[in-house]
Amino acid sequence: MLCVSYQVDERTCIQFAMKLLYFLLSALGLIVCVLAAAFAAHRYLQLIQLKCMATLDYCQCKLSFEEPLSRSFVYQDVTDCASFTSTLKLFLLIQMILNLVCGLVCLRACCVMWEHRYQVFYVGVRMCSLTPSEDQQQKV
């Protein structure tokens, strides 16, 4: 957008197209970041509920070891299940936080573009009042 010469009220098509593209990409980034944070949160909640059992060369995690049909997750070449799952929980928390921060940045970018286009506020001192003065009324 900085390469396009600025004209007031978007008088060039390329300026309008760049602003529209910027807004749409920011909105898409917001959606992707929120979905990524939701996926990480869902996986974190699943990981909290799992019970893990360590063997010699792998770690097997299930919701319930009594149920034969419950889904199991097998992590190869892991000897300590507790440190592995705690590290995985930490990574998922960091991913959630970073995706939410990125989502807030994209939301702010969308708000800036929206305010620039539709919520223009004019500020300044008015040089003359809207109502005619008493002197002008007496002369008429």
Is the pTM higher than 0.75?
Answer: no
Q: What is the pLDDT of residue 67?
A: 79
Q: How buried is 125 (Cβ within 10 angstroms: 0-12 exposed, 13-18 middle, 19+ buried)?
A: exposed
- Assess contact for 10 and 22: CB atoms under 8 A: no
- The answer to whether 49 and 63 are in contact (CB under 8 A) is yes
Q: Which sign, positive or negative, has the C-alpha torsion 102, 107, 113, 119? A: negative
Query: Which pLDDT does position 56 carry in this prediction?
Result: 83
What integer pLDDT is reported at residue 101 of this predicted model?
A: 97
Rounded Cα–Cα distance for residues 119 and 131 (Å):
26
Residue 82 has pLDDT above 80, yes or no: yes
Most confident of 20-24, 117-121, 135-139: 20-24
Residue with tokens 């034969």: 68
Q: For residue 126, is it left (φ>0), alpha (ψ between -120 and 50) or beta?
A: beta
Report which listed range, 11-15, 25-29, 57-61, 124-128, is most confident: 25-29
**The predicted structure's pLDDT at residue 80:** 86
Contact between 47 and 85 (Cβ < 8 Å): yes
User: Contact, 41 vs 33, CB < 8 A?
Assistant: no
